[in-house]
Amino acid sequence: MNNLTGKIAIVTGASKGIGAGIATALAAAGASVVVNYASSQAGADAVVETITKAGGKAVTVQGDVSKATEAQAIVDAAVNNYGKVDILINNSGVYEFAPLEAITEEHVHKQFNVNVLGLLLVTQAAVKHMGSGGSIVNISSVASRITPPMGSVYSGTKGAVDAITGSLSRELGPKGIRVNAINPGMVATEGTKTAGFIGSDFEKGSVAQTPLGRIGQPKDIADIVVFLASDDAAWLTGDILIASGGLR
Ligand SMILES: NC(=O)c1ccc[n+]([C@@H]2O[C@H](COP(=O)([O-])OP(=O)(O)OC[C@H]3O[C@@H](n4cnc5c(N)ncnc54)[C@H](OP(=O)(O)O)[C@@H]3O)[C@@H](O)[C@H]2O)c1
């Protein structure tokens, strides 16, 4: 089950947080992994070291997903090192919360550039090298469904990711490439720590509304990614899996 031996995977934003957990889990399942980072080379190096020490295969590649040439370079790293692409995990993302009156052009462009444009650019480059049996997993968010206050722009980006997932599943289905999304609830990551969510009233409120009574860990999401990436999920495409311990 979930055997990814011989598969080549790209994980964007894998230097920390959910992406690092996904890269490690895909490698443990047998995939060779391209670990992308934007600025945290040390984090990406540490992820590759963890994978290789456990007997897996991985390389790092720097690249800002929101720049077409850099998105192409991320995919080139997979093709140059491993010859093909089977699995693409669009995980890179940024989140900033602001009330309507504080929204600026920069706030909108930054989040839509990484979370939406970046996802499209990497997918566009990767699909040229993917064949039947390929799997794309977009890391969206429950924010697209629960639409928290102050999150109009972030929720908007993830609503776009949900819609893109459906559209691309129809477009790429005839090529045998599946496209699904995972929509995590709150997960303990470097990003949520830096944003001040961990230990906040937001976290307490989130836990209180979560039937399983805690926030998520990167492994909770990574295990579902491994399933969606594998042939065990061969009959799933265009699906949006809400991975939140039951928070709706
Ligand atoms: N944590 C949560 O509660 C939660 C909940 C729902 C959904 N999500 C989604 O899950 C994903 C990961 O979140 P996280 O909490 O793990 O975030 P994180 O800890 O802040 O890590 C973000 C990752 O994205 C990379 N990144 C940022 N901008 C990039 C760019 N322009 N190009 C390439 N990579 C870029 C970062 O690379 P560098 O470090 O190298 O800059 C880092 O590896 C995001 O899409 C987020 O929206 C998170």
Encode pLDDT of 23-75 as tens digits.
999 999 999 999 999 999 999 999 999 999 999 999 999 999 999 999 999 99
Distance 93 CA to ligand 1 centre (A): 4
Distance 174 CA to ligand 1 centre (A): 30
Q: Is 39 in the pocket of ligand 1 (CB under 6 A)?
A: yes
Q: Is 154 a catalytic residue?
A: yes
Structure tokens at 23: 């890269």
Residue 116 dihedral angles phi and psi, to the nearest 5°? -115, -60
14 domain-assigned: yes
Where does the pLDDT of residue 188 fall: very low under 50, low under 70, confident under 90, or very high at 90 and above?
Answer: very high
Residue 228 dihedral angles phi and psi, to the nearest 5°? -65, -30
β-pair type (87-90, 8-11): parallel
121 domain-assigned: yes
pLDDT at 32: 98
115 domain-assigned: yes
**pTM (two decimals):** 0.98
Q: What is the CA radius of gyration of the chain?
A: 17
Range of the domain at 73: 8-243
54 domain-assigned: yes
Nearest-angstrom CA–CA distance, 195 and 212: 23
Structure tokens at 230: 């594998």
Question: Which CATH number covers residue 113?
Answer: 3.40.50.720
Tally of structural domains, the chain: 1
Q: Of all protein residues, whose CA lies closest to atom 34 belonging to ligand 1? A: 13
- Residues 66-93 have pLDDT tens digits of 999 999 999 999 999 999 999 999 999 9
- Residues 94-114 have pLDDT tens digits of 999 999 999 999 999 999 999
Where does the pLDDT of residue 131 fall: very low under 50, low under 70, confident under 90, or very high at 90 and above?
Answer: very high
> Hey, which residues does 61 pair with through a beta bridge?
36
DSSP letters spanning 104-120: -HHHHHHHHIIIIIIHH
217 domain-assigned: yes
- Residues 152-167 have pLDDT tens digits of 999 999 999 999 999 9
Q: Is 190 in the pocket of ligand 1 (CB under 6 A)?
A: yes
144 domain-assigned: yes
3 domain-assigned: no
